[in-house]
Structure 1
Amino acid sequence: MKISNSVKGFLLALVSVIAVSNVYIFSKAALTEVSLPQFGVYWFSFGLIWILLYAWYKKTYNNLKGLVKKQYLILFVIGIIEVVGTYFFFKSIHTISNPTIVSFIGNISPVFVIALSFILLKERFSNLELLGMLLALSGAFVISYKGNSSFKNMFIDGSQYVLYSSMLAAISAVVIKKNIQKIHPIIFTTSRSFFLLFFSIIALNYVEDSLVISTRAVRNIFIGSLLGPFLTVIAGYLALQYIPLSKKAIIASTKGIFVLLGSYLYFNQFPPTIALIGGFVTIVGLLFIAFGKMKHKKSQNN
């Protein structure tokens, strides 16, 4: 039985979403036992191995010959942004007790991407996308709001890290989008992993932490790194060969549901009702953004 390209794209996008959802679960499990520097060294060492093996298999590094000084500078800038953004991402998972809440709040990331694309790339967005952005922000506010009157204590601890991470991820996404035709995605991914591993080693030495961790932590990091830095990225890129980005975004909007299911099965955790309501509002917002992009693209092609 021959599988159509659209079905292949859907299945690959679904694999990518399930893989990234499990990053939240396995990284949370590991971070309950190890420090952030220990986690970073193991996580990005494993992740780099998977990426290097895949790049060697695909002979991707032949593309390095065509890079000029400006493109190496872009890789350096992206590397620094990713180091800071990834630190805040895992800091948020370490700080917030339920990874589902991190996932739900993180749904604001497309809002920053659209805003930056509008400012830097002069891309326009539709009214439907604007409505989706407002819903995503409203849902994230509902989840994060703690109810205290003072601004300092208004939001749950750790939500600020998700905000920082989402903003930096948006900047990275826009810069990569602008340069993706000249720099191969796998080169971006490899460069990112090199930077993250390098700074994790520096951090480990700075805090004088040990590399000795439990077998259970190594197992969780091993599985998570295979799903995260490798399978999520590779399946995501392959999906785009068969389906447009707007359709992939619709499938990606379900990430929070998979994180919710994983948190319940792995940690027996379920977020408060108000967080669930806010989370589903953010998911609806992401769907509006995705459908808005599809509608906007169709109107441009007609």
Structure 2
Amino acid sequence: MAVFKTEEWKGYVFALAGTIAFSSLYVFSKAGLNQVELAQFGFYYFGLGFLLNLIFVLASGKFRQFPGISKNVIGLLVVLGVIDILSNITFFMAIRAIPDPSITSFLGNLFPVFMTLLAISFLKERFSMIEAVGALMAIGGAFIISYSGELDWRKFFIPGTGFVVMNTFLAALVSIIVKKNVQKASPEVFNLNSNGWIFLFFLGYFIWSGQSVVIPAKAFQNIALGAFFGSFVALLSFFYSYRYITASRSSIIQSLKGIFVLAIAYFYLDKFPLAVQLWGGGITIAGVLVMTMAQAGFINVGKKRK
């Protein structure tokens, strides 16, 4: 029977809070992107996210950590900033391209698959046969969800699938880098760095696009809610969870986001996926749960391999 180690429960609480918050981001960002252009959305979303994190860092006194950051960590933050920009661009392009945010979320279950592969490569974590089976289930479910019904390879997958694949790989890469270096800087520093770089990019994109600064009030409301839950609550919660539990155990909780997105999208946007997409989504969730629970030691089947 699994027993919580000292303060380990905090990691699960942070992971659950981050998962619910991130689930709402899918819905609020989809609602916002239905009303404004990507340049306008990014300007307001990341501007608000950066402002929220900056206020939190100043109010909590975490800004005192900045003068002590080494040159190596500064270089790390720059690299993370570049990856974060690419990750977020592909994420919101997927949100805009795929009509139902729950489908985007189900496809996002490729994230733990990439995270496992990267953890094996960079964190020297081990894997077993049951984890490989779980990964194959997740990939198979994603294939079912994304299949368009066409045999023409140019139309084989639904629009936006490629963006999700790129986003999940880049997001997994960021998580592994943060996990490997989580003791070198606080979660607040990582989060402010992420929002800062992305905001600068979208500020430049917004100016270049020539879009109007005026947007509908409802769009601003959706963007503000998405920024609060996505750029602030979710990311901070995930970073904090890595301080108390392993990346694989945090992923167990994060893999459930599809269920939360499904419920929120239904009540807020009146969206519900097709039966075959639900089956595919269920398979991806089951696969990720098998894989991550095996990694976390809750399922002991098969010998671990290096």
- TM norm structure 2: 0.90
Select the residue among 276, 279, 289 that pairs with 2:291: 289
Q: Partners of 2:267 and 2:298 in 1: how far apart?
A: 39
Q: Partners of 2:98 and 2:156 in 1: how far apart?
A: 15
Who is 1:268 aligned against?
A: 270
Summarize deviations over 1:104-123 as a string: whole Å, max 9, x none: 00100111111122223332
Letter in 2 for 1:228: G
Alignment of 1:2-81 (within 5 A): 10-81=12-83
SS at 1:194's partner residue? helix
Who is 2:111 aligned against?
A: 109
| Cα drift, residue 82 of structure 1 | 0.7
Say how many residue pairs are matched: 297
Give the superposed CA RMSD: 2.2
Q: Partners of 1:6 and 1:70 in 2: how far apart?
A: 30
Q: Partners of 1:200 and 1:243 in 2: how far apart?
A: 33
Question: Structure 2: 5+ residue runs without aligned partners?
Answer: 1-5
Moved over 6 A (4+): 296-300
Question: Structure 1: 5+ residue runs without aligned partners?
Answer: none
Who is 1:180 aligned against?
A: 182
Q: Partners of 2:296 and 2:116 in 1: how far apart?
A: 14
Q: Partners of 1:78 and 1:11 in 2: how far apart?
A: 25
SS at 2:184's partner residue? coil
Who is 2:3 aligned against?
A: none
| Cα drift, residue 7 of structure 1 | 6.2
Q: Partners of 2:173 and 2:9 in 1: how far apart?
A: 31
Who is 2:127 aligned against?
A: 125
Percent identity of the aligned residues? Answer: 36
Q: Partners of 1:240 and 1:54 in 2: how far apart?
A: 20
Contact 1:126 1:296 in 2 (8 A): no
Q: Partners of 1:86 and 1:9 in 2: how far apart?
A: 25
| Cα drift, residue 166 of structure 1 | 0.8
Contact 1:125 1:296 in 2 (8 A): no
Letter in 1 for 2:166: Y
Select the residue among 229, 237, 240 that pairs with 1:235: 237
- TM norm structure 1: 0.91
Q: Partners of 2:247 and 2:179 in 1: how far apart?
A: 12
Q: Partners of 1:77 and 1:213 in 2: how far apart?
A: 33
Who is 2:88 aligned against?
A: 86
Q: Partners of 2:19 and 2:180 in 1: how far apart?
A: 24
Letter in 2 for 1:146: S
Select the residue among 236, 247, 259 that pairs with 2:261: 259
Q: Partners of 2:118 and 2:14 in 1: how far apart?
A: 28
Summarize deviations over 1:111-156 as a string: whole Å, max 9, x none: 1111122223332212222111111111101101123223221100
Is 1:166 matched with 2:168? yes
Who is 1:222 aligned against?
A: 224
Letter in 2 for 1:200: F
Q: Partners of 1:297 and 1:162 in 2: how far apart?
A: 29
Select the residue among 75, 92, 100 that pairs with 1:98: 100
Summarize deviations over 1:187-243 as a string: whole Å, max 9, x none: 111111111111111111111111110111111111111111111123334455665
Letter in 1 for 2:250: K
Contact 1:45 1:197 in 2 (8 A): yes
Task: Report the more deviating stretch, 266-275 or 248-257.
Answer: 248-257
Contact 2:293 2:299 in 1 (8 A): no
Task: Report the more deviating stretch, 133-142 or 249-258.
Answer: 249-258
Who is 1:199 aligned against?
A: 201
Who is 1:135 aligned against?
A: 137
Letter in 1 for 2:69: L
